[in-house]
């Protein structure tokens, strides 16, 4: 069984075991804080209760990977699928060539067609493990380039553009914000028309009656609802999930100026795991509700346990384990957990594979050294910042608080041997129980 298949199977089992397919899935989504806006909550609730409906969520390939903010929508679609509804995952090979102006202060750079096409394929592989593509409510992947590319400009203007009053388009928040900042090109101005056309096309092809997206997409979502009403007379629905933000108001999709990527080549599974392990206590309950497939009662128990014993960080560890397993698979979770324990003296560093050890050391302070003879432990403690100076390093050693590869050092003038290098490349230094640093040794 492939890693992707195992990850999908694990996700399905945990969701099924936890009773995620609630009798009223909308109530469950609201309890989890996943409903920011709906076009008509009463009508949507009736439609969900009446029988399986087809829904879709869109993902534009504006980069090589999705981030954890996109995962909110993917997993919300999964919850609806578990409740018996059928999801369509749209990867926008056409809209990805244009760029959504929402929340942006300047025009996106337009990427080459072959680059966008490669990103489409990468993003599809990141979505697929989280949805079930078999069975009576099997998910389906779609690409809006399939119906947009053959459409002529004349047909687009006659058949679609005529249904969009410009005054309403100018009123969209994403457009008005850009106009206030200096302007917007027709290319990005037309994005809402293309997304609305997607909803109409999926309504015609598959009977889709619910579009989902982030709350910053609300104008685009309702544009599709309006277009379907104008063209067909049918009433359809839109549901927006909230933007999940940290206590400082920044998106969880961003950290220190870089996204929390789902692609392991862009963010290692170890760094991904550590991001969630290091969440503040006040954040954990919300994140468990959004991302976990555990039952409501179990999540509430975890929230209570976190409040009663915050030092144990039970919620953080549960969240990090579930999300790392969900995104990267159980084998990667086992590897990063072993690395996390070993770095702090609770496991064997030599048993870590080079990729995982390198990724773990990339997340802690470090230094690079070379030459025929390595520096002393005292010099390395100072060079990595574990000690403020060589004299401070000597005091740390004298107090019994210095470790090299998890072995206590008694002499500050100890020079590591080449045989001490993990995988012929790294040393791990530790001061006390919690302060760790890495040393990369270049070939002499």
pLDDT over threshold 80, residue 294: yes
- Do 78 and 211 fall into the same domain? yes
Quote the domain boundaries for residue 390: 364-444
269 in any annotated domain: no
What's the pLDDT tens digit per position in 107-139? 677 889 999 999 999 999 999 999 999 999 999
- 372 is a domain residue: yes
Q: State the chain's maximal CA–CA distance in angstroms.
A: 82
Helices within 90-185 (DSSP H only): 113-127, 145-148, 153-159, 166-171, 173-180
Residue ending a domain, choose from 247, 277, 304: 247
Question: Which of helix, strand or coil describes residue 388?
Answer: coil
CATH number at residue 387: 3.10.290.10
Using alpha carbons, list the distances in angstroms from residue 217 to 37, 63, 372, 401.
Answer: 11, 18, 58, 53
Exposed/middle/buried for residue 117 (C-beta within 10 Å: 0-12, 13-18, 19+): middle
Looking at the whole model, is its pTM more than 0.85?
yes
Higher local confidence (pLDDT), 20 or 97: 97
Question: How does residue 6 score in pLDDT terms, banded at 50, 70 and 90?
Answer: low
218 within some domain: yes
CATH number at residue 125: 3.40.50.620
Does residue 100 or residue 213 have the better pLDDT? 213
pLDDT of residue 51: 83
pLDDT at 162: 92
What local confidence, expressed as pLDDT, does residue 18 receive?
38
Residues 242 and 386 occupy one common structural domain? no
Point out which residues pair with 431 in neighbouring strands: 402, 435
The answer on 174 and 45 residing in a single domain is yes
Q: Is residue 6 part of a domain?
A: no
| Residue 281 domain-assigned (yes or no) | no
pLDDT digits (tens, 9 = 90+) for 402-442: 999 999 999 999 999 999 999 999 999 999 999 999 999 99
Bridge partners, 367 (sequence order)? 439
Q: Is 157 inside a domain boundary?
A: yes
The domain boundary, picked from 208, 231, 247, lies at 247
Give the CA-trace dihedral at 405, 407, 410, 415, to 10 degrees.
-30
* Count of structural domains, the chain: 2
Q: Does 160 fall in a domain?
A: yes
Q: How far apart are CA 391 and CA 388, in angstroms?
A: 8
Domain termination site, one of 217, 247, 277:
247
**pLDDT, average across residues 281-285:** 93
**Regarding predicted confidence, which is higher, 16 or 119?**
119
Report yes or no on 104 lying in a domain: yes
């Amino acid at each position: 069984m492939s890693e992707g298949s195992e990850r999908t199977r694990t996700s399905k089992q945990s969701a099924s075991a936890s009773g995620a397919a609630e009798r009223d899935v909308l109530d469950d989504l609201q309890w989890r804080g996943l409903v920011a806006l709906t076009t008509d909550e009463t009508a949507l609730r009736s439609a969900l209760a009446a029988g399986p409906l087809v829904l879709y969520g869109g993902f534009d390939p504006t980069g090589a990977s999705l981030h954890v903010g996109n995962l909110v929508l993917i997993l919300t679609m999964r919850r609806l699928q578990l409740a018996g509804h059928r999801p369509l995952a749209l990867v926008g090979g056409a809209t990805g060539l244009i760029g959504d102006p929402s929340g942006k202060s300047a025009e996106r750079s337009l990427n080459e067609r072959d680059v966008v096409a490669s990103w489409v394929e990468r993003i599809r592989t990141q979505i697929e493990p989280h949805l079930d593509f078999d069975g009576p409510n099997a998910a389906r992947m779609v690409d809006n380039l399939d119906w947009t590319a053959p459409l002529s400009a004349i047909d687009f203007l006659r058949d679609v553009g005529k249904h969009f009053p410009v005054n309403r388009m100018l009123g969209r928040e994403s457009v008005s914000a850009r106009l206030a900042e200096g302007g917007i090109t027709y290319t990005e101005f037309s994005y809402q028309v293309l997304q609305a056309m997607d909803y109409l096309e999926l309504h015609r092809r598959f009977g889709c009656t619910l579009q989902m997206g982030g709350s910053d997409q609300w104008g685009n979502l309702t544009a599709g609802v309006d277009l379907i009403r104008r063209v067909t007379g049918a009433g359809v629905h839109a549901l927006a999930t909230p933007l999940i933000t940290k206590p400082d108001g920044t998106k969880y999709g961003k950290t220190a100026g870089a996204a929390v990527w789902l692609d392991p080549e862009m963010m290692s599974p170890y760094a991904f795991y550590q991001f969630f392990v290091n969440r503040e206590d006040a954040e954990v309950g919300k994140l468990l509700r959004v991302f976990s497939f555990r039952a409501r009662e179990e999540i509430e128990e975890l929230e209570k346990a976190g409040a009663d014993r915050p030092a144990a960080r039970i919620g953080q560890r549960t969240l990090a384990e579930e999300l790392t397993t969900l995104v990267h698979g159980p084998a990667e979770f086992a590897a990063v957990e072993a690395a996390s324990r070993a770095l702090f003296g609770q496991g064997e560093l030599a048993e870590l594979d080079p990729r995982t050890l390198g990724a773990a050391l990339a997340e802690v302070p470090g230094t690079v050294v070379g030459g025929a003879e390595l520096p002393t432990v005292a010099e390395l403690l100072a060079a990595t910042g574990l000690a403020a100076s060589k004299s401070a390093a000597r005091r740390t050693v004298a107090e019994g608080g210095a470790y090299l590869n998890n072995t206590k050092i008694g002499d500050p003038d100890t020079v590591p041997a080449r045989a001490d290098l993990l995988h012929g490349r790294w040393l791990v230094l530790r001061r006390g129980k919690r302060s760790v640093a890495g040393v990369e040794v270049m070939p002499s």
